[in-house]
């Protein structure tokens, strides 16, 4: 019946085709929507904005401009980003559709996102499709369906599980991605592209600010006083001229029991979520999983910029691990909310409520807010996971610093200046900010002191100035992934063994990033893997580290080294003797300040064979962090 109704619609559509607006079919690419223009548009309102720039990970294989479909003489191309590591289990595929009002934009805009996702194990594809300068709706729908079929056809080549194909997109691309999921199995939307014998079914959808409805609210009409709207250009009709076509192109018209699980990652721009609640209501009636993740205070193009880029990656990864599940061990949840609608109003109260010598995994979920409290996790409070509602707006902070007199009359030192201190083993924190806001001139002011063994931090921010992150236990093993660490002097320091994966290290002063005090008997100290080292653009004399103790061990592997790092790379700390025994090393770094020929002579450049020994298992002495 649906196919018959669609044919009737096409017949009615053909009777009115003469009235269709075709002035937008210029055959000239519209380049107005791009990252630089979006940056210029938003920087005044978002002074913290930083472009999420792409950089090629050694662990990711990139293939550009592969032809996935040919229509007459028009070749449609796709880019592929895949993990280059030895293949084991079949991977989940993510097909990402760029935005731009179905008229502008380019598949390269989301290369940084694809690189990040491929670096954590996904096989990512970014196809181009015919824009409204070239062809009207439903050409783009047909092209994206073709891209899905091409990916499934080549699943074995790219080591992809054909039952784990995810469609995702932003803005207009989000609408197209939602349309793919909403029309799963509907033959009338397949078009005449490649591999028609292959299924275009998708197994999950991630919609980033893509509309779900072109017709809700019913009385809303796009402002076209300055020219046709993006949708009018795409359809060739104004909403008032052909409302049925606008409805027919809406994902909301087709959602049903055939639709796969959905994730919505949304900005704070409400109009970009049109039809979402109605769409979710249909999914709920069909018992289909969906979730909404909102990045409060963000612009529509949030995924192109820091500070929202990393959170977008984490949200996507977490959703896909939920849809294609692994084991889940957390059994109890405590909610902290300053508004009084949780179990406790402070984080310390929630921690205090956990039984001494606890052995059961417990989540403490912290709602948005600035929690100004000095927080201690006692050694008897193990197996705690702290999760913030979102990392930008869930802030745990205090302002102690060296020289300050405490409430008990003692003089604060570096070791007592912490805002958050963890003595317990098996601790995890996700999606929150840990900060010391004592200020630039306060001297040593620790944000986090982490002493316990097996500490994991995912998608967290550590903010301060001098001595921000204190890893204070030579027997402790710590893991940091997709974290942002910002400071001035020695802002990552201590004796622990710590692995930093895909972290963003931001320097605010010409000083030192690390001051490791690794004991001689520990083979590894700090390992930075696939991290990005940047800072204030006025800086050019930052050191990768100085040896706080004689056997300091710091290694940077496959990292981007920005212009802020001085050519010699490292410091010998005022010509002390520590540099003679220090263990500073680099391998395969890249970027403007990565030239190994300019490094100080006592820093080691690892060979490929030596670098192979720096595995997570070796560095963390057999401990495998649980990331879910």
Sheet holding 420-422, edge to edge: 375-377, 420-422, 448-450, 469-471, 492-494, 514-516
Contact 195, 146 (CB under 8 A): yes
Tell me how many degrees the CA angle 461-464-470 measures, rounded to the nearest 5: 80
List, in order, residues 6 or more apart from 37 with CB less than 8 Å away: none
Per DSSP bridges, beta strands 50-51 and 305-306 are antiparallel
CA distance 557 to 106: 31
Q: At 413, list the tokens.
A: 């030192």
Strand 74-83 relative to strand 123-127: parallel, antiparallel, unpaired? antiparallel
At which residue do the structure tokens 């979710």 appear? 280
107: tokens are 């598949």
Q: Are 178 and 139 in contact (CB under 8 A)?
A: no
490 is catalytic: yes
Around Cβ 409, how many Cβ atoms within 10 Å? 6
In whole angstroms, give the CA distance from residue 402 to residue 400: 7
Q: Are 320 and 204 in contact (CB under 8 A)?
A: yes
Alpha carbons 569 and 544: distance in angstroms, whole number: 6
Contact 344, 336 (CB under 8 A): yes
Question: Cα-flanking dihedrals φ and ψ of residue 119, to 5°?
Answer: -65, -25
| CA distance linking residue 544 with residue 550, whole number of Å | 16
Helix or strand holding residue 61 (H, E): strand 60-71
Instruction: Say if strands 394-398 and 433-436 run parallel, antiparallel, or are unpaired.
Output: parallel
Q: Which of 277, 341, 490, 595 is catalytic?
A: 490
Using alpha carbons, list the distances in angstroms from residue 155 to 124, 163, 206, 264, 324. 12, 10, 20, 26, 17
Query: What is the spatial distance between Cα 521 and Cα 550, in angstroms, rounded to a whole number?
Result: 12
Beta bridge partners, 323, equal none
C-alpha R_g of the chain: 26
DSSP symbol at 297: T
Q: What is the DSSP string of 305-353?
A: EETTHHHHHHHHHHHHHHHS-------EEEEE-TTS-SSBSSHHHHHHT
Q: Which pair of structure tokens corresponds to residue 536?
A: 């204030």
Any catalytic annotation for residue 467? yes
Catalytic residue among 453, 467, 536, 595: 467
The residues assigned a catalytic role are: 467, 490
């Amino acid at each position: 019946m649906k196919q018959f109704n669609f044919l009737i619609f096409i017949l009615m559509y053909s009777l009115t085709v003469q009235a269709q607006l075709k002035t937008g079919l210029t055959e000239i690419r519209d380049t107005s929507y791009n990252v630089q223009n979006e940056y210029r548009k938003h920087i005044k309102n978002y002074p913290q904005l930083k472009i999420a720039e792409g950089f090629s990970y050694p662990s990711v294989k990139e293939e550009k401009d592969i032809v996935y479909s040919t229509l007459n003489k028009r070749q449609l191309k796709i880019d592929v980003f895949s993990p280059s590591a030895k293949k084991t289990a079949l991977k989940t595929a993510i097909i990402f559709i760029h935005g731009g009002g179905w008229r502008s934009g380019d598949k390269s805009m989301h290369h940084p996102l694809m690189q990040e996702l491929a670096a954590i194990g996904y096989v990512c594809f970014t196809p181009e499709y015919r824009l409204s300068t070239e062809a009207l709706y439903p050409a783009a729908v047909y092209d994206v369906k073709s891209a899905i079929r091409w990916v499934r056809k080549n699943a074995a080549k790219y080591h992809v599980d054909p039952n784990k194909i995810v469609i995702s997109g932003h803005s207009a691309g989000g609408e197209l991605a939602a349309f793919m999921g909403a029309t799963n199995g509907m033959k009338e939307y397949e078009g005449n592209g490649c591999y028609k014998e292959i299924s275009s079914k998708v197994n999950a959808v991630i919609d980033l600010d893509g509309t779900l409805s072109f017709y809700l609210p019913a009385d809303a009409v796009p402002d076209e006083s300055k020219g046709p709207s993006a949708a009018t250009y795409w359809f060739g009709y104004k909403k008032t001229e052909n409302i049925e076509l606008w409805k027919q192109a809406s994902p909301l018209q087709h959602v049903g029991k055939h639709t796969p699980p959905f994730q919505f990652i949304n900005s704070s721009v409400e109009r970009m979520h049109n039809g979402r609640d109605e769409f979710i209501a249909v999914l709920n009636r069909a018992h289909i999983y969906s979730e909404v993740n909102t990045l409060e205070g963000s612009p529509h193009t949030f995924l192109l910029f820091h500070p929202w880029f990393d959170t977008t990656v984490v949200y996507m990864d977490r959703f896909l691990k939920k849809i294609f599940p692994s084991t889940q061990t957390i059994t109890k949840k405590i909610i902290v909310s300053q508004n009084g609608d949780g179990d406790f109003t402070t984080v310390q109260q929630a921690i205090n409520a956990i039984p001494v010598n606890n052995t059961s995994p417990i989540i403490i979920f912290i709602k948005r807010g600035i929690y100004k409290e000095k927080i201690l996790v006692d050694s008897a409070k193990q197996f705690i996971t702290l999760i913030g509602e979102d990392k930008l707006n869930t802030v745990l902070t205090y302002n102690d610093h060296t020289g300050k007199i405490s409430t008990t009359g003692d003089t604060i030192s570096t070791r007592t200046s912490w805002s958050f201190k963890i003595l317990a083993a098996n601790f995890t924190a996700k999606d929150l900010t840990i900060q010391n806001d004592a200020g630039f001139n306060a001297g040593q002011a620790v944000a986090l002191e982490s002493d316990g063994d097996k500490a994991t931090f995912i998608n967290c921010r550590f903010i301060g100035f001098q001595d921000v992150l204190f890893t204070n236990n030579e027997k402790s093993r710590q893991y940091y992934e997709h974290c942002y660490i910002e400071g001035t002097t020695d802002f990552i320091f201590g004796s622990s063994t710590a692995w930093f994966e895909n972290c963003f290290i931001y320097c605010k002063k010409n000083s030192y990033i690390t001051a490791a005090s690794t004991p001689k008997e520990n083979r590894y100290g700090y390992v930075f893997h696939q991290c990005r080292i940047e800072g204030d653009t006025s800086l050019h004399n930052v050191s990768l580290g100085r040896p706080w103790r004689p056997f300091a061990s710091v290694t940077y592997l496959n990292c981007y080294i920005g212009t802020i790092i001085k050519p010699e790379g490292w410091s010998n700390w005022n010509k002390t003797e520590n540099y003679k025994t220090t263990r500073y090393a680099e391998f395969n770094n890249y970027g403007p300040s990565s030239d190994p020929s300019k490094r100080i002579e006592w820093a080691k450049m690892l060979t490929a064979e030596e670098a192979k020994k720096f595995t997570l298992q070796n560095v963390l002495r057999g401990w495998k962090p649980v990331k879910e």
